[in-house]
């Protein structure tokens, strides 16, 4: 079981590095937003892994709140790029 956790953790770390590189050198704002969204998804998966390993359900609650905040942030960026106000 420990080998599987180390394998999954290393895959997560590699994915985080790739997403961070894309967020820094992305050509447009949309490339950066997509890479940040992917980074958010990876973070949520990491929180789920921590919850499973530690048998602590609080991490699932944190992951859900984090996903909601990331979704709202993505909507705000897309509306800003479209030229509309947040309330429209």
Residue 87 has pLDDT above 80, yes or no: no
Q: Is residue 27 in some structural domain? A: yes
Query: Does 45 map to a domain?
Result: yes
Please indicate, yes or no, if residue 14 is contained in any of the structural domains: yes
Convert the pLDDT of each residue in 1-15 to its tens digit. 678 888 988 999 999
Burial class of residue 15 (count of CB atoms within 10 Å of its CB; 0-12, 13-18, 19+): middle
Q: Does residue 29 lie within any of the structural domains?
A: yes
| Total domains present in the chain | 1
* pLDDT at 29 (0 to 100): 82
Question: What is the residue range of 52's domain?
Answer: 2-82
Does any domain span residue 87? no
% of the chain beyond a pLDDT of 90: 40
Residue 42 and residue 77: Cα distance in Å, rounded? 20
Q: Is residue 88 part of a domain?
A: no
pTM for this prediction:
0.79
């Amino acid at each position: 079981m420990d080998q599987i956790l180390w394998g999954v953790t290393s895959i997560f770390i590699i994915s985080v590095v790739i997403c961070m590189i894309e967020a820094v050198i992305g050509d447009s704002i949309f490339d950066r937003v997509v890479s940040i969204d992917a980074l958010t998804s990876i973070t949520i998966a990491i929180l789920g892994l921590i919850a499973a390993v530690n048998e602590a359900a609080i991490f699932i609650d944190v992951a859900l709140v984090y996903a909601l905040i990331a979704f709202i942030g993505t909507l705000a960026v897309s509306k800003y790029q479209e030229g509309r106000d947040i309330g429209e």
